[in-house]
Structures are given as C-alpha cells and as structure tokens.
Amino acid sequence: MTVPATPGPTGPVASPSGLDPASLDPASLDPADVGLLAPVWASPSVAAPTGDAALVAAMADLEACWAEALEAAGLAGRGAGAAVRSAVRTAVGSPDGPLSAARLAEAGQGGGNPVIPLVKALRAAVADADPDGPGKGAVHQGLTSQDVLDSALQLVARRAVVAVAADLAGAADALADLAAQHRDTPQVARTLAQHSLPSSFGLKAANWLQGVAHAEARLAELRFPVQCGGAAGTNASLVALGAEPATLAADWARRAGLDAAVAPWQSFRGPVTDLAHALAAACTAAGHVANDVMLLSRPEIGELGEPLAAGRGVSSAMPQKQNPALSTLIRSAALQAPAHAAQVELAAALSEDERTGGAWHTEWPALRTLLRLTSGAAAALRELAEGLRVFPERMRANLALSGPLLTSERIMLELAPVADGGREGVQSAVDAAIGAAGDGAGPDEQARVLREALRGVVRPDQVSEERLDELLDPAGYRGDAAGIVDRILAYYEATVAQRREPLRGQLPRV
C-alpha cells in the first residue's frame, strides 16, 4: 500500500490561539535572556551579576579606574579621573542611555566587541559634561579593547566566584555535619548499581564533602588578574606617554579590585582556562551529590529525601509526585559545564599571534555560562545539603535485602584457610545462598541456607557458632568506614581557613 506524502507547510503555522508568530514585530519583544530554558540560573541573584548590564558596568568602572590611575601617575590632567567617574555613574544603569547593553551589543557588531562603542559613548558623555575638561583625553588612553574586556570578565567572575565559594562553604559545612551525625549509620554500598558491601551513610556524606571541599579549594587558588598590554601586548603607547607600564597596571588593578598581573596575558589564556576548569570542577562535585540524592530518593529505595518547600518538586499532571527538583537543577549544570570548559580550552588552543580572531570571542559566552551554571548549582547544593532528609530505617532495610551475602568477601577471607576444599568449598556455600536468592528466598532464608552450607565445609571446632553469627552480620563488616570519616572530617577542619580566607571579603565595588 502506498501512503501519499503529506505536503509540508508552505508558510508560518499559526498557533491554536490564532497568533501568527511571523506577524510579531521583533522590536516589540524583550531581548533579555532571563533563564527561561535554564532554570538552574534563572534566579535574579545569579543572572543579574553575570548579565549584560553587569558586564557594561564592569567595563565602565574599569575605564574610570584607568583614568584615575592615569591622573595619579601624572599622565592625565587634574580632575580627569573624577570627570570620567562622574560620566560613568550617570550613564551606567540607564536602559536608554549611551551605555545601555542593548545599544552597545548592536553597535559592537561593527568592530567585533562591545568595548569600541562603549569607549566612543563614554568619551562623548565626558565631553558633553565638560567639553574643555581633562576627562575626554583620559578615556581609554593607552588601552586596547582586549585589556578592558578581559579585565571586565575577570571582575564579573570574581564577584560570582565569591558568591559560589560562600554557597559551597555552606554546603560543605552541612555535609560535614551529616558525615559526623551518621558516622555509624549502616547503609549498603552500591557498585555498578548493585549491592556490594556494608558501609555507612556517614562515609557517603564524607565522600561528598571531599569533592565539595576540593572544588572550594580550587576556587580559592584562583587569581583574577588585570589585563594590560595595549594594542599588541607591548604597552608601547604607555611607554610613549612616559609611564612605567607594570606600575600603572598594578595601580589599575588595585583600584578595580583585581589582582596585579606578572605580565600582559592577552595571548596566554591561563587565567581564563584556570577559571573555567575550577568552575566546572565545582559543578562536578555538586553533580555527584545530586546524582546520589536523586537515585536514593526513589520511592523503592527511599533512603534520602530533598528538603520540602511549598511549590517545590510539583508535577503539572500528577499531584501526588514530589520530584527531586534541586537535584535535577544541579545535575543539569553538571552535565553542561564540561562542554563549556572544553570550549574555553579549545579557544586557548586555537589562539594565534598576539590577538586571535574568533577564538577569543568564543570564550565570552562560554565563561559567562559557566559562571551562571556554577552559581545556580552551588546555591541549590547548599539548600539541598542543609535540608537533606535522611531515613536510617530505610537504609537498614535495604541493607538487609542482600542479607549475609554482603559478607561473602569476609567469609571467604576468614573461612577459606580452614574450610574443606578451601576457597572452592566456601564458594559452593555462597553459591547455594545465591541460588536460594534467585529462587525468591528472603534474607532470613538466604542466611539459613548459607549457614547450613558453611557448616558442611567448616566444623564447629574450627569456627564457633558465635563467630559464625558475627561473620554473617552485615553491620559488623564496614571495614574502616568510621575511621575514613574521621580522617576526612579532621582534614576538612584543619584546612577550612586555607580554603576560605583568600576569598573572604573580596567583593569588589559595583
């Protein structure tokens, strides 16, 4: 039977409401991306500090700081810094002003970056305020676009990283409390999605803690250097002005709230790749926690539950559901972050000459997305860790599902040397219990079968009844789990200051 082909659409398809999408005037739509399809960073507290307006404010602030540094070095007239600063304060934040993000974004297509129209608009604003004043000549004097944009991204990143580090610190402290509280709470360890050996929830929380604390430490190691190299990385114009470039750049960094750089880094992208990888590592650590919580909160497992909040985890169709919303948001960030970090690394790998075309430009959105994903994931992780609900009874019940078979490793180690047939004899006893489990026997029946089979190869004078009871008790075979928890917690407490002092109080001015 031949099915006639269905003709394709010949024009725009109207929605059921009768609205023709093609009839909409693009100019009437809000162009802002507020995270509609990226709920992990849709909160204003995450989106705003990394948004276009924040980047414009950072670039303008850096231009004002530069004019102030030029004046302090005697390279600009008295009042130049104040004039530029005044123009910045007047222009930044106005949606219809000369430094509006929308205007700069459109105008930036002409030169390939937003700094060029920003400088033009700022010079005009300074001249309008005082045509004969010293400010106009100080705007951007001796800088190049990459100096301002790279430094502005570092400034935005520093603000975001301070907030991320604070949330990671809160999450880590909560995980440390969970590890200490549940140091001896029995829980089955799972490997390749199957029950493996007895363990404790305290050890699981401590392992989460290791990842989060490590990510926190990587963020603390970051530096946020100012970029100051001029047109080709030689600072030739500053030398021509009679400046000492390194000293002037260090003063610029101090005024802006950035770190002084050893040298210009416009063709060396280490500061950017280090930042990208530290952010991705934070998402990875958060993702590990979220993955486990999502799995262990399944109704058939029921060992953990996310914190409850009105409207959280609801379903549009099934009112009985309580979805793991926080874990879902965190996991979405963890799955996206590595690709953006790879994009930053790829841009660095394809950097050529003293300034690259195209590769440099791909860093900007990748880096901002990483900042947003990590900020949102860290905030969600903190809430998740601080409010995580733990159900020890379900952990014990699930541990019992595999019964004494969980102690097979221990049984083999201790009984093989004395059993008839050695390892093969013990294995035959374990196989009998596995067979019973495969036939639907519960933990008690498995234990009975295993005990009888072991008694067939191990005499009472070799292993007493009491000792055999101990060997078959899963709760008694947790190895050094408690000791590992103690060592992780001790190291965590000993290194708290090392992780947190570098970023404490480091928020630069808006």
Determine the 3-state secondary structure of 225 from DSSP.
Answer: strand
* Spatial distance between the Cα atoms of 246 and 233, rounded to a whole number of angstroms: 12
Strand partners, 199: 187
Tally of CA atoms within 13 A in the half-sphere of 218 that contains its CB: 21
Inter-residue contact 235 to 245 (CB < 8 Å): yes
Number of Cβ within 10 Å of residue 10's Cβ equals 6
Long-range contacts, stretch 494-500, CB < 8 angstroms, 24+ apart: 495/213, 495/217, 498/217, 498/220, 499/169, 499/213, 499/216, 499/217, 499/220, 500/165, 500/169, 500/216, 500/220
Residues comprising the chain, all counted = 510
Token couple for 356:
């690259």
- b/e 363-394 (16+ beta carbons within 10 angstroms → b): bbebbbbbbbbbbbbbbbbbbbbeebebbeeb
Chain position carrying tokens 């103690």: 486
* Spatial distance between the Cα atoms of 253 and 247, rounded to a whole number of angstroms: 10
What one-letter code names the amino acid at 335? Answer: L
**Taking Cα atoms as reference points, which of 99, 285, 97 lies closest to residue 209?**
285
Residue 200 annotated among the catalytic residues of the structure: no
Q: What is the dihedral of CA 129, 130, 134, 138, to 10 degrees?
A: 30
Residue 355 annotated among the catalytic residues of the structure: yes
Token couple for 50:
């990394």
For the chain, the straight-line distance linking the first and the last C-alpha, in angstroms and rounded, comes to: 70
Inter-residue contact 260 to 66 (CB < 8 Å): no
* Spatial distance between the Cα atoms of 460 and 464, rounded to a whole number of angstroms: 5
Inter-residue contact 126 to 83 (CB < 8 Å): yes
Token couple for 233:
């990385």
Catalytic residue among 223, 312, 355, 396: 355
Helix, strand, coil share (%) of the chain residues, nearest 5: 60, 5, 35
Strand partners, 200: 186
Inter-residue contact 92 to 99 (CB < 8 Å): yes
Q: Going by C-beta distance under 8 Å and a sequence separation of 6 or more, which residues neighbour residue 377?
A: 40, 282, 283, 286, 287, 329, 330, 333, 334
Determine the angle formed by the axes of helices 80-91 and 115-129, rounding to 10 degrees.
110
Number of Cβ within 10 Å of residue 434's Cβ equals 17
* Spatial distance between the Cα atoms of 22 and 136, rounded to a whole number of angstroms: 45
Catalytic residue among 315, 389, 459, 467: 315
**Phi, psi torsion values for 199, nearest 5 degrees:** -145, -155
Q: Which residues are catalytic?
A: 315, 355
